Amino acid sequence: MTSVLLTGCGSLVTNNASHGDGSRLGLVADGALVIDGDRVGWLGSRRDAPPADAVVDLGGRAVVPGFVDAHSHLVFAGDRAEEFAARMAGEPYTAGGIASTVTATRAASDEELAATVARLVAEMTRQGTTTVEVKSGYGLTVIDEARSLAIAGRVTPETTYLGAHVVPAEYADDVAGYVDLVTGPMLDACAPYARWVDVFCEQGAFDADAARTVLSAGMRAGLQARIHANQLGHGPGVQLACELGAAAADHCTYLHDADVDALAQSGVVATLLPGVEFSTRSPYPDAQRLLAAGVTVALATDCNPGSCYTSSMPLCIALAVREMGMSPAQALWAATAGGAAALRRDDVGHLGVGARADLVVLDAPSYLHLAYRPGVPLAHAVWRAGHQVA
């Protein structure tokens, strides 16, 4: 096993309060870190660094944990740039636009879908994302959902079965029949390729009863639950997530006080997706309200061809700070440790001894620049599982 010493870190974010300044970010000034194989072997002050097989001097650049993007929809074909343009001209976003992507995805070959996923994951990696969750949900047939998940599984273990994304056109008059399919033959075909089960619980998609049926069936099949909830209006999704012990409730834009309380009590992570509000010109969720109540908050891209076609976690951090009132420290934590919590992972999202060596070297002296310099490609180098991948 070879070791690499990264030294000369102007500042090193560990997300471990026992390191450095004792803050939630565990910020080590003038730090160093040793990568042993695929793990972090040591970290601390530069002057205490042990010897290693190789040494890389970062010249004062900041190091942060690799971003954990816990919500994306990368398996699709076609794009919806025209719909975006229409929306910017004043048309509202609704759940129905998904249908056009479903048509294109069904018509695409496995190779085309896999190429799109690989291209988008590479794009994410270049921007510092080292863990990504990928959902199905644009196939909506047994075969197309199963192949979507098989393709997603080539790039990540965090695969999510989202057969209940919308009701496809052929079931428009038989929602119960579609729920039967999603919880029956489609689940049987998809469960071997999925870790998670998800449902779009929203007006125009699935109501509380259908969503409960979908998630419960998935959990019986050994999948863990997560949910699209309270995006377009006050809905039952967040309460359902808390009732079922889901890992995360995603969007959380429209919340009653009881929803915030339920998230805080249950420990369900609220994953905020500010790129969606940015791209749909919609009101942002109130991050401070959640944080003040003690809710664990994650940030993710929701990268998808309809409501938000960005793959950039740094953009989401900048938006969270500018538009949702998060501090740069809160936003970075949410984009790393928060994302890991949303995926129930303790090996990523932080830099401590034994953690997977996933990190981003920033072309900046401090993580603050992620929010301070929006739109600038700050990822100087990206390491994943001990290998430099970008």
Question: Which residues of this chain interact with Zn ion, rule CB under 5 A?
Answer: 302
Whose CB is nearest to Zn ion?
302
Tell me how far, at minimum, the Cβ of 167 lies from Zn ion, in Å. 16
The residue among 69 and 302 lying less far from Zn ion, judged by its C-beta, is 302
Q: How far is it, in rounded angstroms, from Cα 354 to Cα 218?
A: 32
Tell me 78's DSSP state: S
Q: Is 322 exposed, middle or buried (0-12, 13-18, 19+ CB in 10 A)?
A: middle
Which of residues 268 and 378 has its CB atom nearest to Zn ion in the complex? 268
Q: Output the smallest distance, CB 142 to Zn ion, in A.
A: 21
Question: Between vectors from CA 69 to CA 370 and to CA 86, what angle results, nearest 5°?
Answer: 85
Identity of the residue, 307 or 336, whose beta carbon is nearer to Zn ion in the bound complex: 307
User: Is 239 or 301 the residue whose CB approaches Zn ion more closely?
Assistant: 301
Pick 251 or 350: Cβ nearer Zn ion: 251
- Cβ pair 71, 300 in contact under 8 A: yes
For residues 338 and 345, what is the distance between their CA atoms, to the nearest angstrom?
10
The minimum distance between CB 307 and Zn ion, in angstroms, equals 8
Least CB distance to Zn ion at residue 35 (A): 33
Three-point CA angle 56, 61, 62, nearest 5°: 110
User: Strand 387-388 relative to strand 27-36: parallel, antiparallel, unpaired?
Assistant: unpaired
User: Least distance (Å) from Zn ion to the CB of residue 138?
Assistant: 11
Q: Which is nearer to Zn ion, 35 or 162 (CB)?
A: 162
Question: CA quadruple 213, 220, 139, 338: dihedral positive or negative?
Answer: positive
Structure tokens at 208: 């509380």
Alpha-carbon distance of 32 to 144, in angstroms, equals 47
CB of 250 to Zn ion, least distance (A): 6
